[in-house]
Structure 1
Protein backbone atom coordinates (compact mmCIF):
# COMPACT_ATOMS: atom_id res chain seq x y z
CA UNK A 1 0.00 0.00 0.00
CA UNK A 2 1.30 3.48 -0.79
CA UNK A 3 1.31 6.03 2.04
CA UNK A 4 2.39 9.66 2.30
CA UNK A 5 2.14 12.52 4.78
CA UNK A 6 0.27 15.51 3.42
CA UNK A 7 0.27 17.81 5.35
CA UNK A 8 2.37 17.64 8.51
CA UNK A 9 1.35 20.81 10.32
CA UNK A 10 3.75 22.16 12.95
CA UNK A 11 2.57 24.62 15.63
CA UNK A 12 4.54 26.76 18.09
CA UNK A 13 3.97 26.93 21.87
CA UNK A 14 1.08 29.38 21.36
CA UNK A 15 -0.74 27.18 18.86
CA UNK A 16 0.14 29.35 15.88
CA UNK A 17 0.94 27.42 12.70
CA UNK A 18 4.62 27.52 11.74
CA UNK A 19 4.72 25.45 8.58
CA UNK A 20 3.23 22.59 6.61
CA UNK A 21 5.43 19.76 5.37
CA UNK A 22 4.79 16.74 3.19
CA UNK A 23 6.58 13.53 2.33
CA UNK A 24 6.92 11.40 -0.75
CA UNK A 25 5.04 8.18 -1.33
CA UNK A 26 6.34 5.14 0.58
CA UNK A 27 5.30 1.52 0.03
CA UNK A 28 4.21 -0.09 3.32
CA UNK A 29 2.87 -3.61 3.80
CA UNK A 30 -0.44 -3.80 5.70
CA UNK A 31 0.27 -4.14 9.42
CA UNK A 32 3.85 -2.80 9.10
CA UNK A 33 5.21 0.60 10.06
CA UNK A 34 7.50 2.86 8.06
CA UNK A 35 9.31 6.17 8.40
CA UNK A 36 7.82 8.92 6.26
CA UNK A 37 10.49 11.60 6.27
CA UNK A 38 10.19 15.27 5.50
CA UNK A 39 12.82 18.04 5.56
CA UNK A 40 12.46 20.94 7.99
CA UNK A 41 15.29 23.27 6.97
CA UNK A 42 15.14 25.95 9.68
CA UNK A 43 14.19 23.90 12.75
CA UNK A 44 14.96 25.66 16.02
CA UNK A 45 15.37 23.77 19.33
CA UNK A 46 12.14 23.30 21.26
CA UNK A 47 8.98 21.23 21.59
CA UNK A 48 6.31 21.57 18.91
CA UNK A 49 2.78 20.28 18.53
CA UNK A 50 2.05 18.50 15.26
CA UNK A 51 -0.96 17.29 13.34
CA UNK A 52 -0.48 14.79 10.55
CA UNK A 53 -2.71 13.53 7.79
CA UNK A 54 -1.52 10.21 6.35
CA UNK A 55 -2.92 9.59 2.87
CA UNK A 56 -3.42 5.99 1.81
CA UNK A 57 -4.63 4.73 -1.54
CA UNK A 58 -7.87 3.68 0.18
CA UNK A 59 -8.35 6.70 2.45
CA UNK A 60 -6.59 8.76 5.11
CA UNK A 61 -6.02 9.02 8.86
CA UNK A 62 -5.23 11.87 11.24
CA UNK A 63 -2.64 11.77 14.00
CA UNK A 64 -1.38 14.36 16.47
CA UNK A 65 1.54 14.52 18.87
CA UNK A 66 4.62 16.43 19.89
CA UNK A 67 8.05 16.69 18.29
CA UNK A 68 11.12 17.70 20.27
CA UNK A 69 14.03 19.28 18.40
CA UNK A 70 17.20 19.01 20.54
CA UNK A 71 19.89 21.69 20.91
CA UNK A 72 22.45 19.61 19.06
CA UNK A 73 22.03 16.54 16.93
CA UNK A 74 24.92 14.11 17.08
CA UNK A 75 25.61 10.95 15.17
CA UNK A 76 26.86 7.97 17.13
CA UNK A 77 30.43 7.08 16.26
CA UNK A 78 31.01 3.60 14.91
CA UNK A 79 33.85 1.56 16.31
CA UNK A 80 36.51 1.07 13.67
CA UNK A 81 37.47 -2.57 13.38
CA UNK A 82 41.18 -3.23 13.68
CA UNK A 83 42.90 -4.73 10.66
CA UNK A 84 43.83 -8.41 11.26
CA UNK A 85 47.62 -8.14 10.95
CA UNK A 86 47.93 -11.76 12.07
CA UNK A 87 46.33 -12.76 8.76
CA UNK A 88 49.14 -11.14 6.77
CA UNK A 89 51.73 -12.84 8.97
CA UNK A 90 49.98 -16.17 8.44
CA UNK A 91 49.99 -15.68 4.66
CA UNK A 92 53.70 -14.80 4.69
CA UNK A 93 54.44 -17.86 6.84
CA UNK A 94 52.47 -20.11 4.46
CA UNK A 95 54.34 -18.66 1.47
CA UNK A 96 57.71 -19.29 3.16
CA UNK A 97 56.72 -22.87 4.07
CA UNK A 98 55.50 -23.51 0.52
CA UNK A 99 58.73 -22.12 -0.96
CA UNK A 100 60.84 -24.14 1.52
CA UNK A 101 59.16 -27.49 0.72
CA UNK A 102 59.12 -26.85 -3.00
CA UNK A 103 62.91 -26.77 -3.19
Structure 2
Protein backbone atom coordinates (compact mmCIF):
# COMPACT_ATOMS: atom_id res chain seq x y z
CA UNK A 1 0.00 0.00 0.00
CA UNK A 2 1.36 3.42 -0.83
CA UNK A 3 1.45 6.18 1.77
CA UNK A 4 -1.73 7.90 0.62
CA UNK A 5 -3.66 4.62 0.77
CA UNK A 6 -2.34 4.03 4.28
CA UNK A 7 -3.34 7.53 5.35
CA UNK A 8 -6.84 7.35 3.94
CA UNK A 9 -7.35 3.87 5.39
CA UNK A 10 -6.52 5.21 8.86
CA UNK A 11 -8.78 8.24 8.33
CA UNK A 12 -11.64 6.10 7.04
CA UNK A 13 -11.57 3.55 9.87
CA UNK A 14 -11.11 6.29 12.46
CA UNK A 15 -13.94 8.42 11.11
CA UNK A 16 -16.28 5.46 10.97
CA UNK A 17 -15.36 4.49 14.53
CA UNK A 18 -15.97 8.03 15.77
CA UNK A 19 -19.39 8.06 14.08
CA UNK A 20 -20.24 4.71 15.70
CA UNK A 21 -19.33 6.18 19.09
CA UNK A 22 -21.61 9.17 18.69
CA UNK A 23 -24.38 6.86 17.50
CA UNK A 24 -23.85 4.87 20.71
CA UNK A 25 -24.27 8.06 22.71
CA UNK A 26 -27.59 8.79 21.00
CA UNK A 27 -28.82 5.29 21.82
CA UNK A 28 -27.70 5.64 25.44
CA UNK A 29 -29.54 8.95 25.81
CA UNK A 30 -32.73 7.11 24.86
CA UNK A 31 -32.03 4.16 27.17
CA UNK A 32 -31.22 1.75 24.33
CA UNK A 33 -28.13 0.29 25.94
CA UNK A 34 -27.88 -2.90 23.93
CA UNK A 35 -27.73 -0.86 20.73
CA UNK A 36 -25.25 1.54 22.32
CA UNK A 37 -22.97 -1.34 23.29
CA UNK A 38 -23.22 -2.77 19.75
CA UNK A 39 -22.08 0.59 18.36
CA UNK A 40 -19.14 0.70 20.77
CA UNK A 41 -18.18 -2.84 19.70
CA UNK A 42 -18.28 -1.77 16.03
CA UNK A 43 -16.15 1.24 16.88
CA UNK A 44 -13.63 -1.00 18.65
CA UNK A 45 -13.36 -3.24 15.59
CA UNK A 46 -12.75 -0.28 13.30
CA UNK A 47 -10.20 1.25 15.65
CA UNK A 48 -8.41 -2.08 15.80
CA UNK A 49 -8.21 -2.12 11.99
CA UNK A 50 -6.83 1.43 11.95
CA UNK A 51 -4.36 0.49 14.67
CA UNK A 52 -3.18 -2.52 12.63
CA UNK A 53 -2.46 -0.25 9.67
CA UNK A 54 -0.63 2.20 11.92
CA UNK A 55 1.35 -0.58 13.65
CA UNK A 56 2.40 -2.05 10.32
CA UNK A 57 3.70 1.35 9.26
CA UNK A 58 5.57 1.76 12.58
CA UNK A 59 7.13 -1.70 12.31
CA UNK A 60 8.33 -0.99 8.77
CA UNK A 61 9.83 2.29 9.92
CA UNK A 62 11.63 0.51 12.76
CA UNK A 63 13.13 -1.81 10.12
CA UNK A 64 14.43 1.16 8.13
CA UNK A 65 11.57 1.72 5.66
CA UNK A 66 11.13 5.39 6.50
CA UNK A 67 8.21 7.33 5.05
CA UNK A 68 7.99 11.07 4.66
CA UNK A 69 5.97 12.67 7.43
CA UNK A 70 3.34 14.81 5.77
CA UNK A 71 0.59 17.05 7.03
CA UNK A 72 -1.87 14.46 5.71
CA UNK A 73 -0.20 11.73 7.78
CA UNK A 74 -0.37 13.91 10.88
CA UNK A 75 -4.05 14.52 10.07
CA UNK A 76 -4.65 10.76 9.94
CA UNK A 77 -2.93 10.28 13.29
CA UNK A 78 -5.06 13.09 14.72
CA UNK A 79 -8.21 11.36 13.46
CA UNK A 80 -7.14 8.10 15.06
CA UNK A 81 -6.30 9.64 18.43
CA UNK A 82 -9.53 11.68 18.44
CA UNK A 83 -11.58 8.57 17.66
CA UNK A 84 -9.86 6.63 20.45
CA UNK A 85 -10.55 9.44 22.89
CA UNK A 86 -14.18 9.67 21.75
CA UNK A 87 -14.61 5.93 22.27
CA UNK A 88 -13.19 6.08 25.78
CA UNK A 89 -15.22 9.11 26.84
CA UNK A 90 -18.45 8.00 25.22
CA UNK A 91 -18.04 4.55 26.75
CA UNK A 92 -17.96 6.24 30.15
CA UNK A 93 -20.96 8.38 29.23
CA UNK A 94 -22.93 5.27 28.25
CA UNK A 95 -22.19 3.86 31.69
CA UNK A 96 -23.36 7.12 33.28
CA UNK A 97 -26.62 6.98 31.33
CA UNK A 98 -27.11 3.40 32.52
CA UNK A 99 -26.72 4.58 36.11
CA UNK A 100 -29.14 7.44 35.57
CA UNK A 101 -31.77 5.21 33.99
CA UNK A 102 -31.33 2.61 36.73
CA UNK A 103 -31.75 5.22 39.46
CA UNK A 104 -34.77 6.72 37.77
CA UNK A 105 -36.27 3.24 37.66
CA UNK A 106 -35.44 2.72 41.32
CA UNK A 107 -37.18 5.99 42.22
CA UNK A 108 -40.23 5.13 40.14
CA UNK A 109 -40.52 1.76 41.87
CA UNK A 110 -40.08 3.21 45.39
TM-score category of the 2 structures, normalised to the smaller one: under 0.3
Whose helix proportion is higher, 1 or 2? 2
Whose strand proportion is higher, 1 or 2? 1
- Give 1 or 2 for the bigger CA radius of gyration: 1
**TM-score using structure 2 length:** 0.25
**TM-score using structure 1 length:** 0.26
